[in-house]
A = this chain, B = another copy of it.
Amino acid sequence: MDSKTVGILGGGQLGRMMVEAAHRLNIKTIVLDADNSPAKQINALDEHVSGKFTDPEKIAELASRSDVMTIEIEHVNAQVLEELENSGSNKASVQPKPKTIALIKDKYLQKQHYISHGLATSHAKDVASTPEALKQIGYEYGYPYMLKSRTDAYDGRGNFVVESEGHIEEALKFLNDRPLYAEKWARFERELAVMVVRSLDGSVHSYPTVETVHKDNICHIVYAPARVADSVRRQAKILAENAVKTFEGAGIFGVEMFQMPSGDLLLNEIAPRPHNSGHYTQDACVTSQFEAHIRAVCGLPLPDGFSNFSTPGTNSIMLNILGGAEPNSELETCRRALETPGAIVHLYGKSTREKRKMGHINIVSGSMVECEKKLAFIMGTGPKPQEENASSQKIPAGLSPTPLVGMIMGSDSDLPVMQVGANILKKFGVPFEVKIVSAHRTPHRMTNYATEAASRGIKAIIAGAGGAAHLPGMVAAMTSVPVIGVPVKGSTLDGVDSLHSIVQMPRGIPVATVAINNSTNAALLAIRILGAFMPEYQAKLDEYHHSMEAEVLAKTERLEKVGYEEYKN
């Protein structure tokens, strides 16, 4: 796709996945790292450079064979890269710019950079490696505070939580001999992250906002998208894009943020390369973070929208696989992932070692609830999930553990009317549930049902009620799931009381009302709603309409044949 050769400093898993993406574009990559490093395993060239990505000679050798150089880790020799670029003798450009790499690899300079650009971030101070200096920080920031190594720190190596004055000695021992800085403890609610691509012309594009969960300072689980309001996701994207705009050079950046209890977002750290929080893009987006990075450094197109999820309904969870206490014991987790539909294992070709990043698992589905169930099974904390996807292939029979439609009614006296609709749902193979929920007699149960429906994966609620029929409207007031109301005819007023009580909702809270006692149409409407996004239901509706048509045509044929006088006999 491009005649440029890309030289990569570092051949770990990030380099490996860059190489994988470059292969698909027929872009040549050469790697500087130890022999048989993960990236080299999948790249049969004899031009790789063997050595350390901090070694000036080796970097020069890589440069002489490359058109553009990039990094998979920021702890390279940025100074040598800068000298090479400035020397003019070297044909390889470096992306992102060595200046950017140098700035980011010193975490305290990085922090100062955000502050000087007016980007929201937590308080920080550089500090001498002495007990006195650390005590002074304790007075200022209180405990706990975060003590970090300014350089060579990643995956938690280089971070220490100083919980009290009593831990200062231990902290100094742990971060032995490294330049330090202290950060005020951010009592965040949640950690968010956004991958941002910067193209050669300086424009930025961001991937969806995700939620990261860390364990022992190492990325553990990523939820994509983040389970927060859309406004928060947008705010995070804006902060991330603005932050990446302040750096120079092309490539992808991983932006980590804290969401504070006030709702404010604070910048935590940025990595100038593909990032663990972006691994979900391999399977949840059409263009992965690795391909985006390769495109960016080669100056290939990055059109608007390339970083969207594959489909509007895509949800994903990533789980990191760390080496287990016993060699290869982490493969048990991978084995469970292979037993889980919609999960994919990415291993890095590394030899097993405790807590080493060995691989990751991406789970992809049309619903986050499904993803979470699968995650629980893979982590060994939940049962094996039923086959998902009421989707394309097999239609789950009758009731299912993951209902798509909830049918509720105020009283069991409504059941004769409502069960006609339930039979339709069953006939169409829709996973559904039937419950008695009374607005007037079980108001708290109703509140729970309504508020939890969306997160349980319910896509439509059918509510039947008679008389002063409040149930459909009250449920609609407490959920954003579409609510379909069935007016049930009572002993007086012919059902007009129920109809008007259900249909005449005030502006702001809609109830989709069907004809009196017509639960059939309520069920069919629910199936139309599913069918708008699940083609197999739309196809089944088409078949149903054809069969209705055929039925009427058969009747008229008989009517015309036997005559209207004989017809009713």
| Interface positions of A (Cβ within 8 A of B) | 1, 20, 23-26, 36, 40-45, 206, 208, 225, 229-231, 233, 237, 283-284, 286-287, 291, 295, 300-301, 303-315, 331, 334-335, 338-349, 359, 362, 364-366, 368, 387-394, 454, 459-460, 480-484, 499, 503-516, 518, 520-522, 524-525, 528-529, 531-536, 538-545, 548
Contact = CB atoms under 8 A, between A and B. Distances in A.
24 contacts: A23-B41, A225-B392, A283-B310, A287-B341, A303-B387, A308-B341, A308-B389, A311-B365, A311-B391, A312-B533, A312-B536, A313-B366, A315-B535, A459-B532, A459-B533, A480-B531, A481-B532, A503-B514, A504-B516, A507-B521, A508-B544, A510-B514, A510-B518, A512-B525
B510 A528 contact: yes
Which interface residue of A229, A231, A237 has the most chain B CB atoms within 10 A? A229
Contact of A311 (B25, B313, B518): B313
B335 A301 contact: yes
B459 A542 contact: no
Contact of A388 (B24, B305, B394, B544): B305
Contacts of A528: 480-483, 510
Given A42-B44, A44-B42, A394-B305, A510 B505 contact: no
B510 A548 contact: no
Nearest to A404: B532
Nearest to A514: B510
Given A305-B342, A309-B389, A391-B312, A542 B229 contact: yes
Contacts of A365: 310-311
A366 B533 contact: yes
A193 B538 CA distance: 21
B25 A306 contact: no
B314 A310 contact: yes
B503 A286 contact: no
B514 A345 contact: no
A285 B344 CA distance: 10
